[in-house]
Chains A and B, each alone.
Chain A
Amino acid sequence: MSASSIRRLVSKNLLKFYGLSGHRSGLQVISRRCSTEKENEAVHSEDESEFFENEDDLKKSVLDKALAFVPTHGWSQKAISKGAEELGYPGVAHGMFTRGGVDLALHFCDACNQTLAARMKTDADAVLDAPAARKPVRSVIGDAVQSRLTMIHPYIEQWPQALGLLVMPQHAPESVALLQNLVDDIWFYAGDKSIDVDWYTKRLTLASVYVSTELYMTQDRSPGFADTWQFMESRIDNLSTAGEDFTRCSPMQSYTKYC
């Protein structure tokens, strides 16, 4: 069995599972993909975004599309449905996203975390090549928090709603894990090498800086969120002066890659 025929089977079953086997537009997308794939592998790679190897990929694409509808429909099932329609899979949203808006909000957090991690990785790699350009750890941390929070700006009006969903007890394990990933990424790319109690305190204090600044930002009406950044700086300063040096950290050479 070739890879492409396996993929075809998976996709078909996926659609069946979500009650889409009779749905014309959904099937059209699939059948078109199948024929082009048979004829020409190059076409396949050019146009990969429309073909989903597994459920996760399809889900992610739907949610990515749905983000555009958040400013009008909020973090809701409605926005997800719109995203699914946009992608050519109307109706898929109900079977797939049983928890509604929170799936969308969690996806957004995860995607932003990954974008930030990729950005920080690029910066860290650049510093490996040119050590003279290294920024102090404190500003690496500050910049990272600021750039992560900036990603929320397009949805700032709807963000209190997202936070409301994320902090619900049944969703807390997932949203806390995402927050932990975020601060772990930031410390990792900032070159943290701690191996004792510091490892824990650094992550918790950074999480507290992030969350308090995020809350502040939802209420901030100052131009360019100037007050938010000032608030963030003072939070980091407080941490740095509160006995332990918050940004005590070995230099960049500790940044190692394991992929």
Chain B
Amino acid sequence: MPEFILRRLLIALPVLLLVSLISASIMELVPGDPAVLIAGQSASDAEIAMVREQLGLNRPFVERLGSWYAGIARGDLGDSILLNRPVTQAIAERVPVTLALAGFALFLTVAIGLPCGIIAAVRANTWVDQAVLTFALIGVSVPNFWLSLMLIVLFGVMLDWLPAGGYVMFADDPVGWVRCLILPGLSLALLQVGLLARISRATMLEVLQQDYVRTARAKGMPMWSVYGKHALKNVMVPVITVIGISCGLLLSGSVVIETVYSIPGMGRLLASAVFGRDYPMIQGGLLVTAAVLVLLNLLVDVLYALIDPRVRYGQR
């Protein structure tokens, strides 16, 4: 197993290198002079020169690349132009918020989507199955910004049960923290819940046809063991991959949700960086997001190998 993880890490390394290279080249890739774009059309030559100096644009690209990587090695991603503070500091503040939101949505996805799909397959072609399929269809077809607005109006404004937006730190107020996450978490998760329910239903239906399920029944295993042990572990093999993909989608989906619910996470930070042409922030954000996704994928691969022995031995 440690060898397996090491192998996957080695595969992840080139990806991170590529992403860091692309991050570093963003200023080369934008059309026009980035210094002019940042300083604004009405800026004086002196101001533009200052920005250029600050971004190091007057140095050759290779030299800048060198100091970019040297910075990464030191944990320094430069200073934000808009916020006037180190990029790493701003990101370190925001990452936990987004991870909490996406993590909560992931919890909802797995806790609702997987059991719904499994039960629908076990009770295939009954009203339970129909109900799950209908719910899943609604889940995948409702746009999440619309859902967010409806939830805010209903639970935040009309019923006044939950905050309509904003965020408090877990350390300051744990209960308030959970209350703040419920509506955005639901809005973010619904699409993934629908997808996961449908995929786990389809997978379970297929697994239930397999000979080994019949063997388990022929052995006299009780129903919970046939479904919850023999079938479920096989269902998890493809489903864990889907959950991995969901993680990525939840992280990118949080940009919209953070904006709608005014949650101070990575998504909003990066969105404002893009609008404000805060290149150092964009570069740093890109790199950190990519690193998080690569780590997530690694985690999924490890889980996958833990569940399916054939992966560990490289037979798949």
Chains A and B belong together in one complex: no
Interface residues of B (CB under 8 A from A): none
Binding site for B on A (CB under 8 A): none
